[in-house]
Homo-oligomer: A and B are copies of this chain.
Amino acid sequence: MKEAFKALADPTRRKILDLLKGKDLTAGEIADQFDMSKPSISQHLKILKAADLIEAEKQGQYISYHLNTTVFQELISWAMSFTKGDDTNA
């Protein structure tokens, strides 16, 4: 989760996650949505992958990215522990 919190701090990376909602996209398709160089987006993808928020799948000369929901679920549990008399994460 430590990595995920840092990964989520950046607005470009959060927008990438939004783009991946519902549909998988290649690195290039993702980069096309930003006014930023492809290497910069590649770096962001690397950070999101290291945080286990996304997964990559090589398809020929393309690399397809998709969401990995497990860390989002952990995040929900974490946040819920602050909303009640819950001491799950104590």
Contact = CB atoms under 8 A, between A and B. Distances in A.
- Residue among A9, A67, A79 with most chain B CB within 10 A: A79
29 contacts: A5-B8, A5-B9, A5-B14, A8-B8, A8-B9, A9-B9, A17-B82, A18-B90, A21-B81, A21-B82, A21-B87, A21-B89, A21-B90, A22-B85, A22-B87, A22-B90, A67-B82, A69-B82, A69-B83, A72-B79, A72-B83, A73-B79, A73-B83, A75-B75, A75-B79, A76-B76, A76-B79, A76-B80, A76-B83
Interface size class of A (residues with CB under 8 A): 20 to 34
Contacts of A83: 69, 72-73, 76
